[in-house]
């Protein structure tokens, strides 16, 4: 029997999960399995804290903070933990994006993987989602100055790894 919280959460998942998976894919440097794990972890935490989420003045900001915290928690992945039975994982085809494959994408994925998670998150929020420095700082729980320095260092590192590729000449 579902209650009001369940119904609200279910509707939220149906409308927002796809976007969360895309964000999580970037935050995990293109690892679809880790991204799914991250989304599941985020949504679980969100359900537990649902009343707080509903009361939040900035729900998107709240969601980003939960996502970043869950990402940081992934540090403990070596700590073997319970996961749901594999039967729970939907057997669905993954949509193929041409930009997600090829030598350039592989290079970018490898370069992203070398970034610390929070630095990667700063880059993703600033350059993919066009968040301003203040909102990115709020998501990461750090100062605006840290966001600027982390983003700059992330770009420097990406340039160092893939800067030779002419298609990425105008970052």
Partner 1 sequence: MTNLREQLAGLAGTPIETTTAQADADLARGRGALRRRRAVQTAAGSAFAVAVAAAAVAFTTAGNPTDAAPIAGAVPATAVAAPTTGSFQLVAYTGKQPAGFSVDRVPAGWEVQGIDEYSLVLAPEGAKPRNSAAPLGDTADTDPNSFVGKVAVMLQSVDEKGTPSGERVQVGGLAGTLVKKEGNRDGRTLYVPQPSGVNLQVQVWDGIGWSAEQIVEFAEGIHVNTNAKPGRG
Using CA atoms of 78, 81, 87, 93 in order, give the dihedral in degrees to the nearest 10. -30
| Binding flags for partner 1, 31-70, as an x/- string (CB under 8 A) | -x----x--xx-xxxxxxxx-----------x--xx--xx
Q: 117, 133, 153, 168: which one contacts partner 1 (CB under 8 A)? A: 168
Cα 119 from Cα 155, distance rounded (Å): 10
Identify the residue among 4, 21, 110, 125 touching partner 1 (CB under 8 A). Answer: 21
Binding positions for partner 1, 92-131, rule CB under 8 A: 92, 94-100, 104-105, 108-109, 112, 124, 127-128
CB atoms inside a 10 Å sphere around CB 69 = 15
The tokens describing 65, both together, are 């903070």
Instruction: Using the minimum distance from each CB to partner 1, give the nearer residue, 66 or 147.
Output: 66
Is residue 136 within 8 Å of residue 143, measured between CB atoms?
no
Q: How far is the CB of 149 from partner 1 (least distance, A)?
A: 18
């Amino acid at each position: 029997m579902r209650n009001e919280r369940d119904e609200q959460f279910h509707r939220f998942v149906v409308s927002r999960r796809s976007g969360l998976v895309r964000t999580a894919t970037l935050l995990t440097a293109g690892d679809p399995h880790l991204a799914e794990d991250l989304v599941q972890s985020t949504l679980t935490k969100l359900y537990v804290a649902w009343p707080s989420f509903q009361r939040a003045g900035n729900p998107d900001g709240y969601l980003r903070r939960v996502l970043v915290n869950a990402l940081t928690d992934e540090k403990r992945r070596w700590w073997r933990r319970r996961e749901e039975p594999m039967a729970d994982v939907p057997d669905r085809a993954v949509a193929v994006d041409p930009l997600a494959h090829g030598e350039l994408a592989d290079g970018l994925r490898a370069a992203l993987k070398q970034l610390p998670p929070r630095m990667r998150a700063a880059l993703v929020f600033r350059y993919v989602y066009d968040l301003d420095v203040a909102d990115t700082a709020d998501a990461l729980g750090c100062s605006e100055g840290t966001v600027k320095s982390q983003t700059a260092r992330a770009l420097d590192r990406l340039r160092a790894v893939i800067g030779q590729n002419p298609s990425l000449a105008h970052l």
